[in-house]
Amino acid sequence: MSRLNSAVRGIIRSPRVRAAALRSGAAEEFAGAYVAGEAIADVVAVSRRLHRQGLDVSLTYLSRSDEEAETPDRLIGALEAMGDAAAGAELSVKPSSLGLRTDAASVRDRLGELCAAADALGATVTLEMQGTEHYEETLALWWAAREDWASLGLTLPADIRRSEREARIAAAEGARVRVCVGSYPVPASAGHRDEQAKSRALVRCLRAVMESGGYAMVASHDPTIIAIAQELARRNAIGPRGFEFQMFHGVRPLEQRRLVDIGYRARTYVPFGPAWFEYLTTRIAARPRTLFSYLRAISDKR
């Protein structure tokens, strides 16, 4: 994370700004562009609208830190409520939500149960990667669970150096691999610091997946990365439905629809749940130019 991103996040999360935002309603207004809502009914409504536009969805639950254990039930509840629209959906789940940090002995069983429930509804599961601290444990969990659930996807942040090698190994097994630039801090000894270096690493990871026979999930909003992904797919004789683009809900929505309109598969990452304010600060920090509009909205609504 850059110094600017850290500074922006610090401003938004300051007690004074947070209190003013919640009191004025500005926080909820901004969050509505990026978060489906808190309730299952909210995410179902958003998912069905996106589905009608030709977009697939990836659901993720924003739990409070002391309520992570409820995540699998919330995700499956949302799928069940979606009805026919659940087919083809993806569930994105953090290892910590499965108990990796608190009950590692049972985490594989929980992940297997989630995969089974999703599969019964025509959906898949993708395991997220929470930085370098639990990188080894997350990889081990994915490989173990994949023995029973070959459709289980894996997220590999390109800003972690070793991800390129892991992407090639996983793709050689025909795996679903989401390639992104991670949002967790990475020690200098383990990762790429410069933004251009991160982008180049993402391209290398993407090339590794496509050349090795994996199913690439391109998690980027960068027009250059999108164009490179299309060219890499062409070079490797991968059709427009043989990989997919993934983007956040509320970020470049017209581009998401454009990709669908020209025949590509595009999936929208749709978060919902009570920890929406923390997610909102992450999204604004990722796009610092929105900070002024956010602060102005707070001032105008006091």
Average pLDDT for the chain: 89
What are the residue ranges spanned by the domains of the chain? 1-35+275-302, 37-272
pLDDT of 73 > 60? The answer is yes
At which residue do the structure tokens 């599969």 appear?
A: 119
User: What pLDDT shows up at residue 24?
Assistant: 63
Residues of the chain by 3-state class (helix, strand, coil), percent to 5:
55, 15, 30
Q: Angle at Cα 242 formed by Cα 238 and Cα 248, nearest 5°?
A: 125
Each residue of 206-242: pLDDT tens digit? 999 999 999 999 999 999 999 999 999 999 999 999 9
Query: Is-above-0.95 flag for pTM?
Result: no
In whole angstroms, give the CA distance from residue 296 to residue 208: 44
pLDDT of 33 > 90? The answer is no
| Phi and psi at residue 254, to the nearest 5° | -65, -35
The H or E element that residue 12 is part of is: helix 3-12
Q: What's the DSSP call for residue 252?
A: S
User: What pLDDT shows up at residue 104?
Assistant: 77
For residue 23, the number of C-alpha atoms closer than 13 Å in the C-beta half-sphere is 11
Each residue of 258-271: pLDDT tens digit? 999 999 999 999 99
Q: What's the DSSP call for residue 160?
A: B
Domain 37-272 part of CATH 3.20.20.220: yes
In whole angstroms, give the CA distance from residue 103 to residue 9: 31
The two three-digit tokens of residue 135, written as one number: 């990188």
Each residue of 152-203: pLDDT tens digit? 999 999 999 999 999 999 999 999 999 999 877 788 888 888 889 999 999 9
For residue 117, the number of C-alpha atoms closer than 13 Å in the C-beta half-sphere is 16
List beta partners, residue 271. 60
Lowest mean pLDDT among 247-251, 253-257, 291-295: 291-295
